[in-house]
Structure 1
Amino acid sequence: MYTGLEDPVTHVHHFELQIDLQGVRDDARCRIFPATLSKISQQWFFKLPPRSITSWDGFVRTFYSQFSSAMPLPAEPNDLVDIKQKDNYPLKEYIQRFMREATKVKTLSDDDKLIAINSGIKAKSLFWSSLKRKVARTTQEFLDQTKEFIKLKEAKRKVDKPTQSVTEQWKIDVGNTSIPAEGAKNGAKNGKHNNENGNSGNLNDNKKPKTAEQSKPWEYVPNFTTCSILLETRRTFLMLHRLSYHTEDLHR
């Protein structure tokens, strides 16, 4: 549906493509085309004078004239020179963007396209250096070199990825290793005491060097490893516990 804000040329071309596949005649096109209009464009069509449409070509010219403000400005070959590969911008995305904009230029020679796409490559990059060693004579040769370079770069990335993963995993394991703080260890053992010779000293003075075992994370070790099955209710055990305390007080 055409609302009056899109490109009218693109809409007509799309409509003609669908109609040509079905073999519709020009007089029938004038009757079918209004069904693709909506909002402002539909209001414009209903305001046309009766019997003002005499042919399909004349109707298209009137349609273009009415919605000419929605037509995009035609792209020029010089506009392609402004497309540059910025820092940290992948080569693949730059090529895709350039070729997409190049399709908007009506008259563009292969030499102009090659000059524009070469000028946008980031200077002193790896691909820029490759182009200096092997100059592309046509746009197709340039695109072929681009494909080979991108494939080589992706293959190298796949080879380097496992090594990076192992290194990153080692950093994560080391980072997750928890070592007790020095203040917590020293706070429990700090203070002067008398040794066997009667001299005062600190426990930290006789501490052994830290080993790999001491660097491991602390693990919880339960005090009781076996449990007995209760044969009475908890209420009975509580009453017996209170009775034993009462008996001790009487003996005192």
Structure 2
Amino acid sequence: MERRKRSPFSDQINALIVPPKFKMPTWKVYTGREDPVSHVNNFEIQTDLQGVRDDVRCRIFPTTLSNFSQQWFFKLEPGTITSWDTMVRFFYSQLFAARIPSTELNDLVDIKQGPDEPLKDYVQKFVQAATRSKTVNDDGKVMTIMDGIQVKGPLGNDLRRKTICSTREFLDRTNKFIKLEEAIRRADQVNHASTSIAIPAKNNGSPN
């Protein structure tokens, strides 16, 4: 009784009975590295073949997950899962990152700042890719982001003057240059707009 009170399932789901003749699907359990959508689709197909549909699937689904992949489920508040749709939604929200391939060192090496690309855009592009990496350590990230940046002018001199030991330090050091670059760009836009104002042409025609 106490276990049911702590269950993420609602009372209605806990009351559902799995058919006695139901045989557990035999494919590999979900570990967090596979595609969660494919896992759900395969589960629905195999349970449908045995006549198990809709919310009864909730009672079976956690057993198709590895111990590690079940952690999100047991952390849910009691009574959270009220239907099969709810179960699938929570499963996707917790584990959908498994569909995104991890960024490797070679992927980061390929990220370069374009000739006319703003520093801010390059840094954001690199950081977004780096956060998906599960194998590249911080030293590797610093090395590759430094290699891909167009280190010219005062930024290049500043980066060369002192060794950068972490991506956090790199971001702190480049932040002031990003602000300077944006200020210069805004000033250029204002100057361009002011010089683009059309000057009324003189009327050389004879008066009427």
Matched residues, number: 148
From 79, 102, 120, the counterpart of 2:130: 102
Deviations 1:190-248 (A, max 9, x none): xxxxxxxxxxxxxxxxxxxxxxxxxx3235633xxxxxxxxxxxxxxxxxxxxxxxxxx
Aligned counterparts of 1:92 and 1:144: Cα–Cα separation in 2: 12
From 102, 124, 132, the counterpart of 1:74: 102
TM superposition score normalised by structure 1: 0.45
**Post-superposition offset of 1:166:** 3.1
Aligned counterparts of 1:42 and 1:163: Cα–Cα separation in 2: 58
**Residue type of the partner of 2:194?**
V
Structure-2 residue corresponding to 1:137: 165
1:37-56 equivalence runs, <5 A? 42=41, 45-48=44-47, 50=50, 56=61
**Post-superposition offset of 1:53:** 8.7
CA distance 1:142–1:57, change in 2 (3 Å): same
**Residue type of the partner of 1:217?**
N
Does residue 218 in structure 1 map to residue 204 in structure 2?
yes
Structure-2 residue corresponding to 1:24: 8
**Residue type of the partner of 1:58?**
T
Q: SS of 2:64's equivalent?
A: helix
Structure scoring higher RCO (CA < 8 A, sep ≥ 6) equals 2
**Post-superposition offset of 1:39:** 11
**Residue type of the partner of 2:121?**
E
CA distance 1:97–1:26, change in 2 (3 Å): farther
User: Cα RMSD over matched residues?
Assistant: 4.3
CA distance 1:126–1:55, change in 2 (3 Å): farther
CA distance 1:46–1:125, change in 2 (3 Å): same
Aligned counterparts of 2:193 and 2:149: Cα–Cα separation in 1: 31
From 43, 61, 65, the counterpart of 1:60: 65
TM superposition score normalised by structure 2: 0.53
Q: Which has the larger radius of gyration?
A: 1
Structure-2 residue corresponding to 1:93: 121
Unaligned runs of at least 5 residues, structure 1: 1-22, 32-36, 64-69, 178-215, 223-252
Deviations 1:82-129 (A, max 9, x none): 111121111111111111111211133221111111111025355333
CA distance 1:72–1:155, change in 2 (3 Å): closer
CA distance 1:86–1:163, change in 2 (3 Å): closer
- Superposition misfits of 4+ residues, deviation over 6 angstroms: 37-40, 51-54
Q: SS of 2:159's equivalent?
A: helix
